[in-house]
Amino acid sequence: MSTVLQHYNHLHQIPELGFQEHQTAAYIANELEKAGYKVTRNINNTTGIVAEYDSGKPGPVLALRADMDALGHIIDGVHCARHTCGHDGHSSILLTAAEELIKEGSIKQGRLKLIFQPAEELGSGALAMIAGGAIDDVDMIIGLHLRPKDECPKGFASPAMYYSASTTVEVNIHGIPAHGARPHLGVNALDAAMMAIQAVNTIHLAPSLTYSVKATRCICDAGVTNAIPSKAYVCWDLRAPTNPAMDELKAKTLQAIKLSVEAIGAKADIEVSKEIPAAEIDNEVSQIITEAIVDVLGSEGLKDPIFTPGGEDFFNYPIERNVKAGFWGLGCDLTPGLHHPEMKFDLSALENGVKITKACALKVLG
């Protein structure tokens, strides 16, 4: 019997938000040291951890990555952190697989690196690890995520998760204040915000692409009802299935905002405040994962690749550095859905996660 449930139960009780995973990281780092890894803590002054095992023989450098952060929810009126994206599951799977790989002495060549990253939900944890040099010497990196039951039930796994790109655009609009009786002397920021929202709503990409762009927040208040408001804030959420499609959508969005706001004499300060790239999956790595899934679950447990509108900051690794990447999905009868405050899954599926993770590692380093 593996220790995965023990690790999971511990991590599940100490959910922490992005970049605040202090207890989580301390627990994982201590356990990795006990298992025999060379552990580096506080990568790039964050809670991120890199652990390494060198076989002493030449060979590839394989990185396995898990995320550690929980989500913030408001439950019964109280702000709290809760593991509703299953990152405690990912960390306990990777930690257990790492322990067993060393205990069984099965790594015969190359080096194994374990990346426990903070702040996936904030979209900036992977970038912090990359800036800290975590994958500078890595040839190949593999990540995983628990999947909702309707997408991939327990007993199944998908060898490739094609996540979409997501981008957040925030705009501060500057008009000119005036008395409500003399609107011709002002520039109404609320009008400019409305123009920009309408202009963005007219954007089209090819209908075959599963994209969307929509305003998700608009704040405008002069503090009184009889004056022309001069400041407005609008936020847009953009989704696209590939990185080139996101480039096109973003360029059209920024142009539509700028031109429509300027058309009535206002100015727009535009900030692209969050960008998560779409999946960049390497076929060779997908093949390794496919074989690992078949070894553990049989060919009947192998699902097709999954295309999802969700975002995953993992794909910064292959985009920022020249590493081959693969990302797989683990079926665990997860309901009612990821990020739902009452999210739950069948804990016995964690064992499948450990076995598939080990099988992936041994196909590269065994």
Torsion, CA 357, CA 32, CA 52, CA 312, rounded to 10: 50
CA 126 – CA 163 distance, rounded (Å):
15
Residue nearest to Zn ion (CB): 85
Q: Judged by CB, which is closer to Zn ion: 85, or 292?
A: 85
Q: How far is the CB of 328 from Zn ion (least distance, A)?
A: 13
* Cis upstream peptide for 336 (omega within 30°): yes
The dihedrals phi and psi of 287, each to the nearest 5 degrees, come to -65, -40
Q: Judged by CB, which is closer to Zn ion: 124, or 260?
A: 124
Q: Judged by CB, which is closer to Zn ion: 85, or 364?
A: 85
CA 43 – CA 118 distance, rounded (Å):
10
Q: How far is the CB of 82 from Zn ion (least distance, A)?
A: 11
Q: How far is the CB of 259 from Zn ion (least distance, A)?
A: 35
Q: How far is the CB of 310 from Zn ion (least distance, A)?
A: 7
Q: How far is the CB of 246 from Zn ion (least distance, A)?
A: 19
Q: Judged by CB, which is closer to Zn ion: 39, or 128?
A: 128
Q: Judged by CB, which is closer to Zn ion: 85, or 107?
A: 85
Q: How far is the CB of 146 from Zn ion (least distance, A)?
A: 8
Q: How far is the CB of 120 from Zn ion (least distance, A)?
A: 6
Question: Which residues of the shown chain bind Zn ion in the complex (CB under 5 A)?
Answer: 85
Q: Judged by CB, which is closer to Zn ion: 36, or 310?
A: 310
Q: Judged by CB, which is closer to Zn ion: 71, or 365?
A: 71
Q: How far is the CB of 311 from Zn ion (least distance, A)?
A: 9
Q: How far is the CB of 175 from Zn ion (least distance, A)?
A: 37
CA 316 – CA 8 distance, rounded (Å):
26
Query: HEC profile for the chain?
Result: CCCHHHHHHHHHCCCCCCCCCHHHHHHHHHHHHHHCCEEECCHHHCCCEEEEEECCCCCCEEEEEEECCCEEEEECCEEEEECCCCHHHHHHHHHHHHHHHHHCCCCCCCEEEEEEECCCCCCCHHHHHHHCCCCCCCCEEEEEEEEECCCCCCCCEECCEEECEEEEEEEEEECECEECCCHHHCECHHHHHHHHHHHHHCCCCCCCCCCEEEEEEEECCCCCCCEECCEEEEEEEEEECCHHHHHHHHHHHHHHHHHHHHHCCCEEEEEEEEEECCCCCCHHHHHHHHHHHHHHHCHHHECCCEEECCCCHHHHHHHHCCCEEEEEEEEEEEECCCCCCCCECCHHHHHHHHHHHHHHHHHHHC
Q: Judged by CB, which is closer to Zn ion: 90, or 111?
A: 90
Q: Judged by CB, which is closer to Zn ion: 91, or 260?
A: 91
